[in-house]
Amino acid sequence: MRKSGIWCISLVSVLAFSCSKDKSIETGGTGGTGGNGGALGSNCRVNTIIAADSLSGDGLFSLFTNFNSSRVATRVEAYDSTSLSLEAAADLTFKGDTIRVGANEYFVTDASKRVSKFFTHLDPSDPSSDVYVYNYTYDASGYLKEKTISLASFPTPLAKFDYTWAGGNLVKIEGNTVVLGNIQKILVANLTYDASKTAKNFVQLLPDGFETFLFTMALDIGKKSTNVLKTISMVTYDNGTPSTTYNTQIKDVKFSPDGYITEWYADGDGFDAFGIFTGRTLFKYNCN
């Protein structure tokens, strides 16, 4: 069963839309840079996440990040092979500590090049609309610790998300409204891992990352989980009351000979909003 469009404080539209693309970047195969199942190389990072046909491996939908020769992300794309259309795309431009991803949307990084703030308008097409401000903080070890969301016109946080890590893995996220002392749950997510398997330089998986999921391969949002994800369970809330439950199990994880995850199978609910699709998913890499 596929569930998408789960809870979001705002529908953040930070991308420039288009309606066509010359050819799909979604090729079949076993994953990796060339899809041949061989070793990938040194210093590899995920640059494509592909929702694929379970039998053929042909791509149905993909998230793609282009890296230049300096390994800096320059563009992100979301491509739908079923309709042969480029659903969304954004060019990333860097200046000092700022990464601009749209005319009215940009990220700010800290001294360690991690994302510290994100600014986006309530209506990204209207620069006169109010601005949402996302603030990210990290613990002394470099793991994401807290995220708050406020308005530029009302800097007191509207919502706060707390991240719990154990053994190098993100194990829990709890989000609450906090404006003016009115505390109500937004979501609670619990994640488990296969301690016998290590995820080598994988992607940062954040069930609440609606504002960043298209940029998850392009941005540094702190250290990533060490082990391979096994299950996710999440409950979203409506006015503090449980609304929808999501349960997903990750199975059939495959690796390249040098230890990178090249594919897995997600059984249960798909978290489309941060790149976990129901069924088979392929992961391709950019390497030195």
**pLDDT tens track for 50-90:** 988 888 878 888 899 999 999 999 999 999 888 888 988 99
For 119-146, the pLDDT digits (tens) are 999 887 788 889 999 999 999 999 999 9
SS3 117: strand
28 pLDDT exceeds 60? no
* Contacting residues for 150 by C-beta, under 8 A, at least 6 apart: 132, 133, 135, 156, 157, 158
Beta bridge partners of 99: 94, 107
The average confidence (pLDDT) of the chain is 85
> What is the DSSP-derived secondary structure letter of residue 276?
B
As separate numbers, helices (DSSP H) first and strands (DSSP E) second, the chain gives 0, 19
| 15-286 CATH | 2.40.160.190
pLDDT of 18 reads 28
Distance between CA 122 and CA 199 in Å, rounded?
A: 36
pLDDT at 17 over 80: no
pTM of the shown model = 0.86
The three-class DSSP label of residue 225 is: coil
pLDDT of 174 reads 97
Ranges of each domain in the chain: 15-286
pLDDT at 35: 45
Tell me how far the alpha carbon of residue 263 is from its chain's centroid.
Answer: 16
User: For the purposes of burial, counting CB atoms within 10 Å of the CB of 223, is it exposed (0-12), middle (13-18) or buried (19 or more)?
Assistant: middle
Say which amino acid occupies 166. A
Backbone phi, then psi, for 151, in 5-degree steps?
-105, 145
Report helix, strand or coil for 272: helix
Cα dihedral sign, 209-71-224-205: positive
pLDDT digits (tens, 9 = 90+) for 150-201: 999 998 999 999 999 999 999 999 999 998 878 999 999 999 999 999 999 9
Distances, alpha carbon 22 to alpha carbons 78, 121, 242, in Å:
14, 31, 44
Residues making up the chain, counted from first to last: 288
* Distance, CA of 273 to CA of 257 (rounded, Å): 30
**Predicted pLDDT at 275:** 59
Q: What is the mean pLDDT of residues 41-57?
A: 88
Of 10 and 288, more confident: 288
How do residues 199-232 score in pLDDT, each as one tens digit? 999 999 898 988 998 899 999 999 999 999 999 9
Predicted local distance difference test score (pLDDT) of residue 48: 94
| Residue 5 pLDDT grade (very low, low, confident, very high; cuts 50, 70, 90) | very low
pLDDT at residue 30, rounded to an integer? 36
Smallest Cα–Cα separation from 203: which of 46, 74, 31, 72?
Answer: 46
Q: What's the pLDDT at 77? A: 94
C-alpha–C-alpha distance, residues 164 and 113, integer Å:
22
